[in-house]
Amino acid sequence: MIEIKESTKYENCIGVKDTSYLDNALPIEMDETLSKKDEKEWKKNWVGMPEFNQEENPAYKKIIVSFRTKEDFDDFIKRMDQDMTVKTKSIWHPKLDRTANHLMRWIEE
């Protein structure tokens, strides 16, 4: 057996978590829980950006569907006419068109 010696020195960073990328990140939720200092920081970087408010768009109704057999599940997939696997957790009915707005862009003159 031939032993090959390590030719490069490196630090063992196992168990060390790098959080330096968070220094300039915007907070996930920008609400009243932010300190005044944090609020000033993100506002400093948010200059000239358009106003945006995400509308609530919850599902009207959610149900749990159970299948006794694989054949029952396959029949359901066929009737729903949607891509599903045994790992699928949820679907929308009618089928959600995820590409409907993919070409929308913000354009200023």
What pLDDT, in 10s, does the model give residues 41-90? 777 777 777 787 888 888 899 999 999 999 999 999 999 988 899 999 88
pLDDT of residue 35: 66
Q: DSSP letter string over 7-35?
A: -S-----TT----GGGTTPPPS--STTS-
pTM recorded for the entire structure: 0.42
The set of long-range contacts for 4-10, using a CB threshold of 8 Å and a minimum separation of 24, is: none
Rounded Cα distance between 46 and 41, Å, is 9
Query: Which positions ≥6 away from 91 have C-beta within 8 Å?
Result: 80, 82, 84
pLDDT of residue 72: 94
Give the DSSP H or E segment for 79: helix 70-80
For residues 59 and 68, the answer to whether their CB atoms sit within 8 Å is no
DSSP 56: P
Share of the chain above pLDDT 70, in %: 79
pLDDT of residue 26: 59
